[in-house]
């Protein structure tokens, strides 16, 4: 096999990885290179992968503990490791824009970090694209690490000690109802606002659509102002990389330091189908 090579996708983060077969070629040294590259690049795209669910789950396990998908877990108590992103049902039929599942996913068009509403949030998400729209349907990414680096030093010092409440019901009810069992399974959690990558020491702030308020701040408007300002700073267009999915792309990203959102697409017109797994974080962010 050819040597592993990285081509930058954006000047702040992200790389296309060539010379790796994620299905047949996952030797321990390759897995180690992928881990290290994720600490450096935050997002890796592996094009032209002949992926399937078994290989996808094997890749997930190589990178850590698979995370139980929260909608199924919260609503039914069952552990499944895959989520399906897009508008194609398990039986292959297309679910149009008005379908509850498709509408529910529009919540992913708000900037977020996966499972930031869990006590132990997602470390990596791994998406594989099987069917992509002919138009639209990209996923936008932005780095809270480079955004942290751009903050004035005084702001960095002021926000470093803060803790933030993340709340799934708060964020998701803005676009769609959340069933009772699911809502009850996801009480609000507290995270550090500022996180540090244990391998390279790079810091970032950690916000997103699920970030509801700053712990201990009684003025909701002040909380909102800070969180919204941090979101805006990270996601100005020049800092955003929009991934134009091609069928066969496997993308792995680091949710500790990246925000992402769906760019949207015409779900009545196009089919879009991605499979996703997530790797659990190392522990609660307060213990990092």
The distance of closest approach from Cβ of residue 137 to Mn ion in the complex, given in angstroms and rounded to an integer, is: 14
The distance of closest approach from Cβ of residue 203 to ligand OGA in the complex, given in angstroms and rounded to an integer, is: 24
Q: Concatenate the DSSP letters of all residues of 126-191 into one string.
A: EEEEEE--SS---EEEEEHHHHHHHS-HHHHHHHTT-EEEE-HHHHHTTTS---HHHHHH---EEE
66 lines the binding site for ligand OGA (CB under 6 A):
no
Closest among 122, 82, 98, 101 to 210, alpha carbons compared:
122
249 lines the binding site for Mn ion (CB under 5 A):
no
Helix (H, G, I), strand (E, B) or coil at 77: coil
The distance of closest approach from Cβ of residue 40 to ligand OGA in the complex, given in angstroms and rounded to an integer, is: 21
Tell me which DSSP letter residue 55 carries. Answer: H
14 lines the binding site for ligand OGA (CB under 6 A):
no
Q: Which does 262 bind (CB under 5 to 8 A by kind): ligand OGA, Mn ion, none?
A: ligand OGA
Tell me how crowded residue 120 is: count the other CB atoms within 10 A of its CB.
Answer: 16
Contact between 193 and 162 under an 8 Å Cβ cutoff? The reply is yes
The distance of closest approach from Cβ of residue 249 to ligand OGA in the complex, given in angstroms and rounded to an integer, is: 12
Out of 12, 69, 114, 254, point to the residue binding Mn ion (CB under 5 A): 114
255 lines the binding site for ligand OGA (CB under 6 A):
no
87 lines the binding site for ligand OGA (CB under 6 A):
no
85 lines the binding site for ligand OGA (CB under 6 A):
yes
Task: Name 130's Cβ contacts closer than 8 Å, sequence gap at least 6.
Answer: 247, 273, 274, 275
Number of residues this chain uses to bind Mn ion (CB under 5 A): 1
For residues 165 and 144, give the distance between their C-alpha atoms in angstroms, rounded to a whole number. 18
108 lines the binding site for ligand OGA (CB under 6 A):
yes
Structure token digits, residue 227: 């969180």
Residues that bind ligand OGA (CB under 6 A): 85, 108, 114, 125, 127, 139, 260, 262, 276
Residues that bind Mn ion (CB under 5 A): 114
């Amino acid at each position: 096999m050819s040597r592993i090579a990285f081509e930058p996708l954006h000047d702040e983060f992200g790389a296309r990885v060539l010379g790796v077969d994620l299905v047949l070629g996952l030797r321990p040294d390759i897995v180690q290179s992928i881990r290290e590259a994720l600490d450096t690049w935050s997002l890796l795209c592996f094009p032209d992968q002949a992926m399937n669910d078994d290989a996808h789950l094997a890749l997930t396990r190589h990178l850590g503990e698979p995370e139980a998908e929260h909608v199924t877990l919260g609503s039914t108590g069952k552990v499944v490791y895959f989520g399906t992103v897009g508008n194609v049902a398990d039986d292959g039929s297309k679910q149009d824009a008005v379908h509850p599942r498709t509408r529910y996913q529009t919540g992913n068009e708000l900037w977020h970090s996966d499972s930031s509403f869990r006590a132990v949030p997602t470390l990596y998400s791994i998406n594989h694209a099987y069917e992509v729209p002919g138009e639209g349907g990209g996923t936008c990414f932005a780095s809270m690490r480079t955004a942290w680096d751009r903050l004035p030093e005084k702001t960095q010092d002021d926000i470093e000690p803060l803790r933030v409440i993340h709340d799934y019901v708060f964020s998701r009810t803005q676009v769609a109802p959340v069933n009772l069992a699911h809502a009850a399974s996801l009480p609000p959690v507290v995270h550090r606002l500022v996180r540090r990558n244990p391998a390279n020491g790079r810091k970032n702030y950690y916000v997103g659509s699920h970030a509801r308020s700053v712990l201990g701040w009684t003025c909701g408007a002040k909380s909102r102002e800070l969180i919204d300002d941090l979101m805006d700073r990270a996601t100005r267009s020049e800092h955003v990389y929009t991934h134009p999915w091609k069928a066969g792309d496997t993308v792995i990203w680091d949710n500790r330091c990246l925000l992402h959102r769906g760019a949207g697409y015409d779900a009545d017109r196009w089919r879009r189908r991605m499979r996703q797994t997530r790797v659990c974080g190392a522990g609660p962010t307060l213990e990092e």
